[in-house]
Structure 1
Amino acid sequence: MNSFELNKIFGAVLGVLLFVVGMSVLSDMLFSPEPAGVAGYALPMPEGVETEVAEAAPAEVPLPILLASADVGRGETAVRKCASCHSFNEGGANGVGPNLYDIVGGAKAHLDDFGYSSALAERGAAGELWGYDELYGFLANPRGYLPGTSMAFAGIRSGQERADIIAYLASITENPPPLPEAEADAGAESDAAAAQ
């Protein structure tokens, strides 16, 4: 096959491609799709009726109930995501974050050899402690709980996972404070919810 035959074949293929692209452009110019209108019609609202429907937020389980069902093993597994910044063994080295051994019930900014953010150092100097509620709130949203903290962590959404982590931290605390007790009303509500 000589080069003249190949040129004719390539020319034919190029011509077909050019024809297809040209037809596509021409059809787009001639036929433009119209957006669909609003489906249905608006119903009149009776006067005095709220137009916004409040969504029922799921009832949050109280911390004492979560702690009562917390699992130290699951908490130990969950803190692996924290191990890149923190250590958890007695006398462990500080990383980007402080060593968290013996933290439950301990003072905020509890280590002398770690450079805490000024927000946390001020709370530690004021004598604040890391109780169960404080740890629960901090683990949910560190920057929301303690504005000015240098901890760059988004937080843990699951309340049960936070309770598991707190249970693990309490297990590596020499003298952890007693677990908070559920209020009688909260216990009755959880029993009623379980019965449904």
Structure 2
Amino acid sequence: MKEASVIRTQSCLATTMIGAATLLAVTAGPGAKGGVVAMATVQVAPPRPAFATCKACHSVTRGGTNGVGPNLFGIFGAPAAAKPGYAYSPAMKGSKIRWERAKLDAYLADPRAVVPGTRMTVPGIPDPAKRNEIIGFLEKLK
């Protein structure tokens, strides 16, 4: 009975150590002295309240799945219709848009005016402060 407890404790300890090891980044590089290791940290701000409307159709996690709309992680500064695995409308594919602040603002205000034929069903977000909050959030998802 005591041996089983020790084995369970050792197993938990090993699992914890393996988990901790997965949090470590690779060494600082070939020139690093003494095998300097840094903790890998990824901090993404939680979705802002204004993003709640978008969240119904879009995910925002790195490598996340597409929903009704494409995953929006890393779209800031990227060309439109560039996320792999999503069936974009022909209008979006042909738009030649790059998702910079001004273009995102115009698109979020009135998607159909910016990309006639888009499949985006939201009619637009009229409040400039909400659009700015959404754009600021998307800008941080790198």
Shorter-chain TM range is: 0.5 to 0.7
Structure with more contact order per residue of length (Cα contacts < 8 Å, sep ≥ 6): 1
Aligned ranges for residues 114-125 of structure 1 at < 5 Å? 114-123=86-95
TM-score by length of 1: 0.48
Distance across 2 between alignment mates of 1:100 and 1:137: 17
User: What is the root-mean-square deviation of aligned Cα atoms in Å?
Assistant: 1.5
List alignment gaps of at least 5 residues for structure 2.
1-44
Instruction: Select the structure that is richer in helix.
Output: 1
| Residue in structure 1 matched with residue 105 of structure 2 by the alignment | 136
Distance (Å, rounded) in 1 between the aligned partners of 2:65 and 2:128: 29
1:122 positional shift: 1.1
Matched, 1:93 2:65: yes
Aligned-pair identity (%): 37
Distance 1:84 1:159 in 2: 20
- Alpha-carbon separation, structure 1, partners of 2:62 and 2:115: 26
Q: 2:84 aligns with which of 102, 112, 127?
A: 112
The TM-score normalised by the length of structure 2 is: 0.65
Deviation at 1:151, TM superposition (A): 0.7
The structure having more radius of gyration, on CA atoms, is 1
Task: State the Cα distance separating 1:84 from its structure 2 match.
Answer: 1.3
Corresponding residue to 2:56 among 57, 62, 84: 84
How many aligned positions are there? 98
Aligned pairs for 1:1-196 (under 5 A) are 76-123=48-95, 126=96, 128-172=97-141, 174=142
Matches of 2:48 and 2:131 in 1, distance apart? 11
Per the TM alignment, residue 160 of structure 1 is displaced from its structure 2 partner at its CA by 1.1
Query: Which secondary structure state, in structure 1, belongs to the residue aligned with residue 60 of structure 2?
Result: coil
1:116 shift after superposition? 0.3
Regions of 4+ moved over 6 Å: none
Residue matched to 1:9: none
Greater strand proportion: 2
- Partner letter of residue 122 of structure 1? G
Q: For 2:124 and 2:82, locate their aligned partners in 1 and report how far apart those are by CA, in whole Å.
A: 21
